[in-house]
Amino acid sequence: MEQSRRKVLKAGAALAVTAGLPVRAARAQQNVVKIGMSMPQTGSLGAGGQAALVALRLWVDDVNAKGGLLNRKVEFIAYDDQTNPANVPGIYTKLLDVDKVDLIIAPYGTVPTAPLMPMAKQRNLLVMGNFSFQVNAKVKHDMWFNNAPWNDASSWSDGFFANGKRVGAKSVAFLAADQEFAQNLANGARALAKKDGLKTVYDQNYPPTTTDFSSLIRAIRASKPDMVFVMSYPNDSVAIVRAVNEIGVGSGVKMFGGGMVGLQFTPNMVNLGSLLNGIVNYNSYVPGMKYPGIEDFLARYSKRAVEAKVDPLGFYLPPFNYAIGQMLEQAIRAVNSFEHGKIAQYLHGNEMKTVVGPIKYGKDGEWANPRVVQAQFRGIKDKDMDQWRRPGKQVVLFPEQYKTGDLVQPFEKARG
């Protein structure tokens, strides 16, 4: 008898404790609109995420200074997923069911965003994407809007391969992390390389936790490629740059880089310094590119970033995160509602004005007109943050409308 009673009592106790949990949830929502997200603030993407958060918080303050959205003050909630996709479902479930947020923004990066997509589709939620790559390709959610200046693989790798062909490159080596971003990009790039008639002499995936790239770089060197297309996340990108410096990639390589995330984060740029010279890599914005209002934004951002002890330059993510806020603002004001379906309809059918220029969406929720830049690092000195503000340190090779110079090759010579 004591066993059965104990069992029922236990079940009841567990029920009571956990049912009483969400006490903070049911509060009057009339005066406040809650926007919630998970943002990688530590881990591989952490440095970028922290900078992005400063920009988002700047937008929230700007909007609230104007009276809020539809006369409701914006309350912003952000948790840290540590760049670990396993943390994401739990965080967004908490945001939706415990914090009861009205709108969600995706975490920065493809890898943390991947687990969110099925949940968003199943619960019919509007998601503002944050610099992820093709993360909606399989789920095909129709209320997804990415803030990144690329759409598919060719928008990314066209610039890289075009430069290679111009200097007579015939073969390519692929090195990609085994994670959502790099694999999405690698699948696209491989097909494009074949179409272009390039010969693939090396093609390896590595587990995302790899820290020592000496063997991989050695193997790449042995395969004697003309171009090396690397698709990596910040921790690996830094390790690869260091390994290339230690081991060397061979005198025949004309171009190295392409899809290395993290070489756009200011802390990495400053720490790696001259090791970056010669690498051709993608970017979203480099000083000198003319977007309306961007210089003013960067100045205001810089002040807040210095206070928060975070990346003071803010070139890569912050302007595009501020743009997320601007897009939400325009859409919500236009449809006069917070209903996800209505906002999505507006975003699909209109062009929004933002601090990174006009943004128009294709049917898949990616930009209709991509604007990915491929730039070569030149003349970088060690331990100098201010050099990055001056144009000329990242020479834009592609696209034509922003081009500021030609490729210097071979890669080993450009590193000199």
Partner 1 sequence: MRFWIPAMVVVLVAAGVALSPVNEYFFYASYIVLTFVVLATAWNILGGYAGYVNFGTAAFFGIGSYTATVLFKWLGAPLVVQIAAAAAVSGLLGFGVGMLTLRLRGIFFAIATVAVIFIMETLMINWRYVGGATGLQLLRPEVMAPFESYTRMLFVVMAAMAVGAVALARWVQVSWIGRGLRALRDSEEAAECAGVPTLKLKLFACTLSGALMGAAGAPMPMYLSFIEPVSSFNLTWSVNALAASMIGGTIHWLGPVIGAVILGTLQQVVTVTISSEVNVLVVGVLLVLFVVAAPEGVLGLLQRWIRFFK
Partner 2 sequence: MFFSWDLLFEALMFGVLLGCFYAAVSIGLSVSFGLLDVPHVAHPAVMVLGSYCTYLLASYGWDPLVAGTVLMAPFFVLGMLIYRFYYETFEKRGTEAGVRGLAFFFGVAFIIEVGLIMVFGVDQRTVNAPYIGDSLRLGDYRIPHRMIVAFGVALVLTFTLSAYLSKTFTGRAIKAVAQDEPALRLMGANPVRIKQWAFGIATAASALAGAMLIIVGPVEPAIDRLYIGRTFAIVVLAGLGSMTGTLAAGLILGIAESIVLMFFGASWAPAVAFGILLLVLGVRPQGLFGR
Binding site for partner 2 (CB under 8 A): 42-43, 46, 82-84, 178, 202, 204-207, 210-212, 214-216, 218-219, 222-223, 235, 239, 242, 245-248
Give me the DSSP letters along 233-288.
-HHHHHHHHHHHHHH---TT--EEEEEETTTTSHHHHHHHGGGGTT-EEEES--TT
Closest CB 265 distance from partner 1, rounded Å: 22
Show contacts with partner 1 in window 164-193 (CB under 8 A).
Answer: 178-180, 183
Instruction: Determine which residue in the list 63, 114, 289, 373 makes contact with partner 1, applying CB under 8 A.
Output: 114
Which contacts qualify for 111-114: CB closer than 8 Å, 24 or more apart? 111/45, 111/83, 111/85, 111/179, 111/180, 111/181, 111/208, 111/233, 112/38, 112/40, 112/45, 112/81, 112/83, 112/84, 112/85, 112/87, 112/88, 113/88, 114/85, 114/180
- Does position 1 interact with partner 1 (CB under 8 A)? The reply is yes
With CB under 5 to 8 Å by kind, the binding choice for 304 among partner 1, partner 2, none is none
Q: Which is nearer to partner 2, 249 or 344 (by Cβ)?
A: 249
What 3-state DSSP class applies to 379? coil
With CB under 5 to 8 Å by kind, the binding choice for 202 among partner 2, partner 1, none is partner 2
- Does position 28 interact with partner 1 (CB under 8 A)? The reply is no
CA dist 311 and 266 (Å) reads 6
CA dist 310 and 93 (Å) reads 29
Q: Which stretch binds partner 1 (CB under 8 A): 14-22, 227-235, 345-353, 375-383?
A: 14-22
Pairing of strands 255-260, 227-232: parallel
Q: Which is nearer to partner 2, 87 or 110 (by Cβ)?
A: 87
Q: Residue 156's closest CA among 359, 399, 354, 323? A: 399
Q: Which is nearer to partner 2, 46 or 325 (by Cβ)?
A: 46
Task: Region of 40 please: left (phi>0), alpha (psi -120 to 50) or beta.
Answer: beta
- Does position 259 interact with partner 1 (CB under 8 A)? The reply is no
Q: Which stretch binds partner 1 (CB under 8 A): 56-64, 119-127, 361-369, 375-383?
A: 119-127
- Does position 205 interact with partner 1 (CB under 8 A)? The reply is yes
Positions touching partner 1 (CB under 8 A) are 1, 3-8, 10-11, 14-15, 17-19, 21-22, 25, 84-87, 89-90, 93-94, 96-98, 114-115, 117-119, 121-122, 138-139, 178-180, 183, 205, 207-209
